[in-house]
Homo-oligomer: A and B are copies of this chain.
Protein backbone atom coordinates (compact mmCIF):
# COMPACT_ATOMS: atom_id res chain seq x y z
CA UNK A 1 0.00 0.00 0.00
CA UNK A 2 1.25 3.48 -0.89
CA UNK A 3 1.28 5.92 1.98
CA UNK A 4 1.75 8.83 -0.42
CA UNK A 5 -0.48 11.72 0.56
CA UNK A 6 -1.02 10.37 4.06
CA UNK A 7 0.27 11.53 7.38
CA UNK A 8 1.13 9.52 10.44
CA UNK A 9 0.10 10.42 13.95
CA UNK A 10 3.08 12.51 14.93
CA UNK A 11 3.30 14.28 11.63
CA UNK A 12 -0.24 15.46 11.97
CA UNK A 13 0.08 16.14 15.68
CA UNK A 14 3.04 18.42 15.07
CA UNK A 15 1.37 20.27 12.27
CA UNK A 16 -1.77 20.77 14.28
CA UNK A 17 -0.08 21.54 17.58
CA UNK A 18 -1.87 18.77 19.42
CA UNK A 19 -0.53 15.62 21.06
CA UNK A 20 -0.55 12.15 19.59
CA UNK A 21 -2.56 11.19 22.61
CA UNK A 22 -5.22 13.64 21.54
CA UNK A 23 -5.39 12.03 18.12
CA UNK A 24 -5.60 8.60 19.71
CA UNK A 25 -8.39 9.85 21.89
CA UNK A 26 -10.27 11.38 18.99
CA UNK A 27 -9.98 8.09 17.14
CA UNK A 28 -11.18 6.19 20.18
CA UNK A 29 -14.32 8.30 20.54
CA UNK A 30 -14.98 8.26 16.81
CA UNK A 31 -14.48 11.97 16.36
CA UNK A 32 -11.60 11.71 13.92
CA UNK A 33 -11.18 8.32 12.30
CA UNK A 34 -7.98 7.72 10.34
CA UNK A 35 -7.33 4.97 7.85
CA UNK A 36 -4.94 2.22 8.82
CA UNK A 37 -1.88 0.82 7.16
CA UNK A 38 -2.95 -2.86 6.95
CA UNK A 39 0.67 -3.90 7.02
CA UNK A 40 1.60 -2.47 10.42
CA UNK A 41 -1.58 -0.96 11.86
CA UNK A 42 -0.30 2.60 11.78
CA UNK A 43 -2.87 5.36 11.59
CA UNK A 44 -2.90 7.23 8.32
CA UNK A 45 -4.60 10.58 7.94
CA UNK A 46 -5.55 11.83 4.50
CA UNK A 47 -6.37 15.38 3.50
CA UNK A 48 -10.07 15.26 4.37
CA UNK A 49 -9.09 14.01 7.80
CA UNK A 50 -6.73 16.95 8.17
CA UNK A 51 -9.47 19.37 7.26
CA UNK A 52 -11.81 17.72 9.70
CA UNK A 53 -9.22 18.14 12.45
CA UNK A 54 -9.06 21.77 11.62
CA UNK A 55 -12.78 22.01 12.07
CA UNK A 56 -12.53 20.19 15.37
CA UNK A 57 -9.93 22.61 16.66
CA UNK A 58 -11.94 25.59 15.54
CA UNK A 59 -15.02 24.41 17.35
CA UNK A 60 -12.96 23.46 20.36
CA UNK A 61 -11.58 26.94 20.37
CA UNK A 62 -15.13 28.21 20.45
CA UNK A 63 -15.79 26.22 23.59
CA UNK A 64 -17.86 23.34 22.24
CA UNK A 65 -17.48 19.98 23.95
CA UNK A 66 -16.22 17.11 21.85
CA UNK A 67 -19.71 15.61 21.87
CA UNK A 68 -21.12 18.81 20.49
CA UNK A 69 -18.37 19.03 17.92
CA UNK A 70 -19.13 15.56 16.69
CA UNK A 71 -22.81 16.35 16.42
CA UNK A 72 -22.03 19.41 14.34
CA UNK A 73 -19.59 17.73 11.99
CA UNK A 74 -21.70 14.64 11.49
CA UNK A 75 -24.94 16.30 10.58
CA UNK A 76 -26.02 15.19 7.12
CA UNK A 77 -26.09 18.64 5.56
CA UNK A 78 -22.73 19.69 6.96
CA UNK A 79 -21.02 21.89 4.42
CA UNK A 80 -17.42 22.79 5.03
CA UNK A 81 -17.46 26.13 3.31
CA UNK A 82 -20.60 27.25 5.07
CA UNK A 83 -19.14 26.10 8.34
CA UNK A 84 -16.01 28.10 7.74
CA UNK A 85 -18.04 31.20 7.14
CA UNK A 86 -19.91 30.61 10.36
CA UNK A 87 -16.66 30.08 12.18
CA UNK A 88 -15.34 33.30 10.89
CA UNK A 89 -18.36 35.12 12.31
CA UNK A 90 -17.97 33.38 15.64
CA UNK A 91 -14.31 34.30 15.81
CA UNK A 92 -15.09 37.94 15.10
CA UNK A 93 -17.59 37.94 17.92
CA UNK A 94 -15.02 36.38 20.16
CA UNK A 95 -12.63 39.10 19.25
CA UNK A 96 -15.18 41.68 20.23
CA UNK A 97 -15.59 39.99 23.54
CA UNK A 98 -11.90 40.24 24.22
CA UNK A 99 -12.20 43.93 23.51
CA UNK A 100 -14.76 44.11 26.24
CA UNK A 101 -12.40 42.33 28.60
CA UNK A 102 -9.75 44.90 27.85
CA UNK A 103 -12.32 47.54 28.60
CA UNK A 104 -13.04 45.92 31.94
CA UNK A 105 -9.38 45.92 32.84
CA UNK A 106 -9.10 49.56 32.06
CA UNK A 107 -12.10 50.38 34.16
CA UNK A 108 -10.82 48.29 37.00
CA UNK A 109 -7.65 50.29 36.97
CA UNK A 110 -9.71 53.44 37.24
CA UNK A 111 -11.82 51.98 40.00
CA UNK A 112 -8.80 51.08 42.01
CA UNK A 113 -7.66 54.62 41.76
CA UNK A 114 -10.98 55.74 43.15
CA UNK A 115 -11.89 57.75 40.10
CA UNK A 116 -14.92 55.73 39.27
CA UNK A 117 -16.85 53.10 41.10
CA UNK A 118 -17.34 49.57 39.88
CA UNK A 119 -19.76 47.25 41.50
CA UNK A 120 -19.13 43.60 41.68
CA UNK A 121 -20.88 42.74 38.48
CA UNK A 122 -18.85 45.23 36.52
CA UNK A 123 -15.67 43.63 37.73
CA UNK A 124 -16.62 40.53 35.82
CA UNK A 125 -17.82 42.15 32.68
CA UNK A 126 -16.71 40.35 29.57
CA UNK A 127 -16.59 36.96 31.16
CA UNK A 128 -19.97 36.01 29.85
CA UNK A 129 -22.25 37.21 27.14
CA UNK A 130 -25.38 37.94 29.10
CA UNK A 131 -23.49 40.18 31.47
CA UNK A 132 -22.56 42.42 28.64
CA UNK A 133 -26.20 43.13 27.92
CA UNK A 134 -26.94 43.98 31.54
CA UNK A 135 -23.94 46.18 31.80
CA UNK A 136 -24.79 48.24 28.78
CA UNK A 137 -28.26 48.96 30.08
CA UNK A 138 -26.88 49.88 33.46
CA UNK A 139 -23.96 51.97 32.36
CA UNK A 140 -26.08 54.61 30.75
CA UNK A 141 -27.99 55.18 33.95
CA UNK A 142 -25.02 55.15 36.26
CA UNK A 143 -22.79 57.37 34.22
CA UNK A 144 -25.23 59.94 33.03
CA UNK A 145 -22.38 62.09 31.85
CA UNK A 146 -21.15 59.70 29.23
CA UNK A 147 -19.21 62.49 27.64
CA UNK A 148 -16.86 62.57 30.60
CA UNK A 149 -16.41 58.87 30.18
CA UNK A 150 -15.64 59.21 26.51
CA UNK A 151 -13.12 61.87 27.30
CA UNK A 152 -11.65 59.59 29.88
CA UNK A 153 -11.06 56.82 27.45
CA UNK A 154 -9.59 59.05 24.82
CA UNK A 155 -7.20 60.72 27.17
CA UNK A 156 -6.09 57.53 28.80
CA UNK A 157 -5.59 55.93 25.43
CA UNK A 158 -3.32 58.74 24.33
CA UNK A 159 -0.77 58.31 27.12
CA UNK A 160 2.31 56.15 26.88
CA UNK A 161 2.74 53.19 29.15
CA UNK A 162 5.30 55.05 31.18
CA UNK A 163 3.02 58.02 31.56
CA UNK A 164 0.22 55.76 32.67
CA UNK A 165 2.38 54.20 35.32
CA UNK A 166 3.28 57.60 36.68
CA UNK A 167 -0.34 58.67 36.80
CA UNK A 168 -1.38 55.61 38.73
CA UNK A 169 1.48 55.95 41.14
CA UNK A 170 0.72 59.57 41.70
CA UNK A 171 -2.90 58.73 42.49
CA UNK A 172 -1.82 56.57 45.37
CA UNK A 173 0.39 59.28 46.81
CA UNK A 174 -2.43 61.79 46.65
CA UNK A 175 -4.73 59.85 48.89
CA UNK A 176 -1.91 59.31 51.33
CA UNK A 177 -1.11 62.98 51.25
CA UNK A 178 -4.70 63.95 51.95
CA UNK A 179 -4.79 61.47 54.80
CA UNK A 180 -1.65 63.00 56.23
CA UNK A 181 -3.27 66.41 56.13
CA UNK A 182 -6.21 65.32 58.22
CA UNK A 183 -4.86 66.63 61.54
CA UNK A 184 -4.76 70.12 60.06
CA UNK A 185 -8.43 70.15 59.00
CA UNK A 186 -10.17 70.15 55.66
CA UNK A 187 -9.58 73.83 54.98
CA UNK A 188 -5.89 73.71 55.74
CA UNK A 189 -3.36 74.49 53.03
CA UNK A 190 -2.08 70.92 53.23
CA UNK A 191 -5.49 69.42 52.62
CA UNK A 192 -6.33 71.89 49.89
CA UNK A 193 -3.09 71.19 48.16
CA UNK A 194 -3.91 67.53 48.26
CA UNK A 195 -7.35 68.05 46.80
CA UNK A 196 -5.85 70.22 44.08
CA UNK A 197 -3.52 67.41 43.18
CA UNK A 198 -6.47 65.05 43.25
CA UNK A 199 -8.32 67.36 40.89
CA UNK A 200 -5.35 67.46 38.55
CA UNK A 201 -5.00 63.73 38.63
CA UNK A 202 -8.63 63.34 37.68
CA UNK A 203 -8.00 65.57 34.72
CA UNK A 204 -5.77 62.89 33.30
CA UNK A 205 -9.05 61.10 32.68
CA UNK A 206 -11.62 63.76 32.08
CA UNK A 207 -12.41 67.39 32.77
CA UNK A 208 -14.46 67.28 35.96
CA UNK A 209 -17.03 69.95 36.64
CA UNK A 210 -17.57 71.23 40.15
CA UNK A 211 -20.64 69.06 40.32
CA UNK A 212 -18.64 66.00 39.45
CA UNK A 213 -16.00 66.79 42.05
CA UNK A 214 -18.65 67.19 44.71
CA UNK A 215 -20.50 64.16 43.48
CA UNK A 216 -17.37 62.05 43.69
CA UNK A 217 -16.66 63.25 47.20
CA UNK A 218 -20.24 62.44 48.12
CA UNK A 219 -19.94 59.08 46.46
CA UNK A 220 -16.92 58.34 48.58
CA UNK A 221 -19.21 58.60 51.58
CA UNK A 222 -22.48 57.25 50.30
CA UNK A 223 -21.17 54.24 48.49
CA UNK A 224 -19.98 51.40 50.74
CA UNK A 225 -17.61 50.25 48.03
CA UNK A 226 -15.63 53.46 48.28
CA UNK A 227 -15.88 53.31 52.02
CA UNK A 228 -14.08 50.00 51.90
CA UNK A 229 -11.44 51.42 49.62
CA UNK A 230 -10.68 54.40 51.81
CA UNK A 231 -10.97 52.40 54.98
CA UNK A 232 -7.75 50.76 54.06
CA UNK A 233 -5.95 54.11 53.94
CA UNK A 234 -7.59 55.81 56.89
CA UNK A 235 -10.93 55.17 58.59
CA UNK A 236 -12.04 58.82 58.38
CA UNK A 237 -10.63 59.65 54.99
CA UNK A 238 -13.88 59.54 53.08
CA UNK A 239 -15.56 62.02 55.45
CA UNK A 240 -12.55 64.25 55.32
CA UNK A 241 -12.53 64.14 51.54
CA UNK A 242 -16.06 65.44 51.41
CA UNK A 243 -15.35 68.42 53.59
CA UNK A 244 -12.08 69.22 51.90
CA UNK A 245 -13.60 68.98 48.43
CA UNK A 246 -16.50 71.20 49.44
CA UNK A 247 -14.08 73.83 50.65
CA UNK A 248 -12.01 73.46 47.49
CA UNK A 249 -15.02 73.91 45.24
CA UNK A 250 -16.01 77.14 46.95
CA UNK A 251 -12.79 78.64 45.79
CA UNK A 252 -12.89 77.42 42.22
Please give the residue numbers on chain A whose beta carbons come within 8 Å of chain B beta carbons, in ascending order.
Answer: 4-5, 7, 12, 15-17, 46-47, 50-51, 53-54, 57-58, 61, 80-81, 84-85, 87-88, 91-92, 94-95, 98-99, 101-102, 105-106, 108-109, 112, 120-121, 123-124, 127-128, 131, 161, 164-165, 168, 224-225, 227-229
Enumerate chain B residues within 8 angstroms of A4, measured Cβ to Cβ: 224
Name A17's closest neighbour in chain B (CB-CB).
Answer: B128
Tell me the complex Cα distance, A120–B80, Å.
16
Q: Are A95 and B92 in contact, CB atoms less than 8 angstroms apart? A: no
Given contact pairs A124-B57, A127-B61, A91 touches B102 in the complex (Cβ within 8 A): yes
Q: Are A168 and B128 in contact, CB atoms less than 8 angstroms apart? A: no
Taking a contact as CB atoms closer than 8 A, the residue among B57, B91, B105, B108 that contacts A98 in the complex is B91
Quickly give the copy total for this chain: 2
A159 to chain B, nearest CB (A): 12
Given contact pairs A84-B105, A91-B101, A98-B91, A228 touches B123 in the complex (Cβ within 8 A): no
Enumerate chain B residues within 8 angstroms of A88, measured Cβ to Cβ: 102, 105-106
Enumerate chain B residues within 8 angstroms of A112, measured Cβ to Cβ: 80-81, 84
Tell me the complex Cα distance, A165–B81, Å.
9
Tell me the complex Cα distance, A205–B251, Å.
66
Q: Are A228 and B98 in contact, CB atoms less than 8 angstroms apart? A: no
Taking a contact as CB atoms closer than 8 A, the residue among B57, B81, B102, B109 that contacts A92 in the complex is B102
A221 to chain B, nearest CB (A): 14
Tell me the complex Cα distance, A109–B87, Å.
11
Tell me the complex Cα distance, A37–B179, Å.
32
Tell me the complex Cα distance, A131–B57, Å.
15
Q: Are B84 and A109 in contact, CB atoms less than 8 angstroms apart? A: yes
Enumerate chain B residues within 8 angstroms of A5, measured Cβ to Cβ: 224, 227-228
Q: Are B98 and A50 in contact, CB atoms less than 8 angstroms apart? A: no
Q: Are A105 and B87 in contact, CB atoms less than 8 angstroms apart? A: yes
Q: Are B84 and A50 in contact, CB atoms less than 8 angstroms apart? A: no
A187 to chain B, nearest CB (A): 31
A97 to chain B, nearest CB (A): 9
Enumerate chain B residues within 8 angstroms of A94, measured Cβ to Cβ: 98
Interface centre among A17, A92, A112, A224 (most CB of B within 10 A): A17
Taking a contact as CB atoms closer than 8 A, the residue among B54, B106, B123 that contacts A108 in the complex is B54
